[in-house]
Amino acid sequence: MSIAPSHIERHAHDTLIRLSRAFPVVALTGPRQSGKTTLACNAFAQKPYRTLEDPETRRLALSDPRAFLAQFPEGAVLDEIQRAPELLSYLQGVVDRQQRMGLFIITGSQQFGLLESITQSLAGRVGLIELLPLSLTEIGHATHISHTQLNELMFTGGYPALYNSLRVQALAPRDWFRAYVSTYIERDVRQVLGVRDLATFERFILMCASRSGQLLNLQSLAADCGISANTARQWLSVLESSYIVRLLQPWHENFGKRLVKMPKLYFLDTGLLCWLLRIDSPQLLATHAMRGFIFETWVIAETLKHRLNQGLPADLYFWRDNHGVEVDLLFEHAGLLHAVEIKSGITFSEDWLKGCKRLASYAAHRFGSGTVIYGGEHSFDTQATHVMSWLGMQQKTPTA
């Protein structure tokens, strides 16, 4: 792909501006290196910027928080706020006195514990945005995407650094992800959990990667890693709160049928997923045994990005009955259920409609629509179902 200039317009920009007009504080959370700082500084270029990763800045913020905040009568962008959560209580006093919207923009990479601190200290005063890596549409604004580039897109993933025109020619995804895992993921998790046996934790992440797009059996995952189920649950919760993985819960209504109760596990970036699976090229991905699961992971992540960029709740589910008939993605809108089946193949098959039809028969009047997203390049309608090319996700998602 040919890469455009390094600045990529983020779809969450409008949501950030909208929330800044309604709340005195706006909090941007998301994985490290997803572009939170760039977005905040571009949207509020007139505000001073401070990062609490800087030891001197953090020392002042913690030793004399009132003096620290007094530097910013017009507000500021405060980066990596989780490094000084005590500051949030003093921030409450400042915004309550000033009674101005959009005063402070705060960012945080580690959600674990951060949201609790925010909701305790700034309840009713803060608007929340979760920013994931670049979506297909955002990447499409920076570079032309052709119908032959699906494997390359999934292999590269969406982290902005991999689309920076100043470094992309010299930066291989495998090199960037190796540094990302060792510098951020392992460091963050060790800070939160105090993990001493790093080799076991690395094996745990690899075992999670091998299960992306599949039902999560926590007991089996723990046994494969040689850890207890409680430890696996704790480690998984930190990976989820760090925006590395997402658990998709099963739809709760059974329509009189027995349903699977286990969640499905998804990574939120397929580039990271490919690196963990030791897939070292788009060509290898094209024939890899997990390509179907990786494509499903990619579509789920794209749909989630679309919702979060608009400031919508991430109310996404899947549906599976006890006979193994499944709908990969399910959401409710205006009281109706909308079903999405995800297939990586490029040749349409009527068998792909089975899940949507089965759910429609069970849900009856509550069924809204059925969609199939597949790896081909043409979109069309058939048997009351919209069959959408993956390329169509540049313009819309099934939740649009």
Q: What is the pTM of this model?
A: 0.92
The amino acid occupying position 122 is: L
Place of tokens 């979760």: 130
The tens place of each residue's pLDDT in the chain, 400 residues long, gives 444 445 788 999 999 999 999 999 999 999 989 999 999 999 999 999 999 999 999 999 999 999 999 999 999 999 999 889 889 999 999 999 999 999 999 998 766 567 778 878 888 899 999 999 999 999 988 777 877 899 999 999 999 999 876 555 557 888 999 999 888 777 777 777 777 777 888 899 999 999 999 999 999 999 999 999 999 998 898 899 889 999 999 998 777 666 788 999 999 999 999 999 999 999 999 999 999 999 999 999 999 999 999 998 889 999 998 788 899 999 998 899 999 999 999 999 999 999 999 999 999 999 999 999 999 999 999 999 999 999 988 765 555 4
**Separation in Å, CA 37 to CA 3, 46, 107, 255, 362:** 21, 14, 7, 45, 46
Strands of the chain, DSSP E: 25-29, 49-51, 76-79, 104-108, 126-130, 214-215, 245-250, 264-267, 317-320, 326-333, 336-343, 367-374, 380-382, 385-389
Domains plus CATH for the chain?
A: 12-130 (3.40.50.300), 133-400 (no CATH)
Place of tokens 């599976």: 320
